[in-house]
Amino acid sequence: MSDKLRIVVGSDDAGFDYEETLKEDLRRSALVATVTDVGVDTDGHTAYPAIAIAAAEMVARGDAARAMLLGHIQVALANTLKGDNPFSDACLIAMDYGRESIVKDDWKKVFQDDGLDKVITRMLRIKEIRR
């Protein structure tokens, strides 16, 4: 059995562009064996619970070791599961950032490099990200 990760990704249309970039990066990684996409395609609109369920089922069956859910799915799950707190400190920081930023008219800024850098530095507790 390979030590490389089998990852499933899923996004509704809100996170589609970011998901496409993420998939490319993951597929180039030497640490990743497979990347399976259960999200929408360029023309699709799927209710986010169906995407989350498809990803969770793959992980539960052992077809994937990790699931990465983007777009409104990510926000809904974070808000739904917050009371159970199954998340790491870094994940909690990312969820706080999402709550601060996503429910606003300019929510798409979270996909801009400076916005991502801001939350990543908070998550990793580092001073800056050098590009």
Do the Cβ atoms of 37 and 20 come closer than 8 Å?
no
What pLDDT score does 36 carry? 94
Percentage of the chain beyond pLDDT 90 is 5
- Polymer length of the chain: 131
- The answer on pLDDT for 51 being more than 70 is yes
The structure tokens listed for 31 are: 């640490």
78 or 17, greater pLDDT: 17
Asked if pLDDT for residue 83 goes beyond 80, the answer is no
What pLDDT is recorded for position 41? 80
Residue 80, pLDDT > 80, answer no
What is the percentage of the chain residues whose pLDDT exceeds 70? 80
pTM here is 0.56
Q: Is the pLDDT of residue 72 over 60?
A: yes
Give yes or no for residue 86 having a pLDDT over 70.
no
Residue corresponding to tokens 């609109």: 45
Contact 67, 7 (CB under 8 A): yes
Q: Which residue has the higher pLDDT, 17 or 103?
A: 17
Q: What pLDDT shows up at residue 42?
A: 75
What span, in angstroms and rounded, lies between the C-alpha atoms of 56 and 22?
19
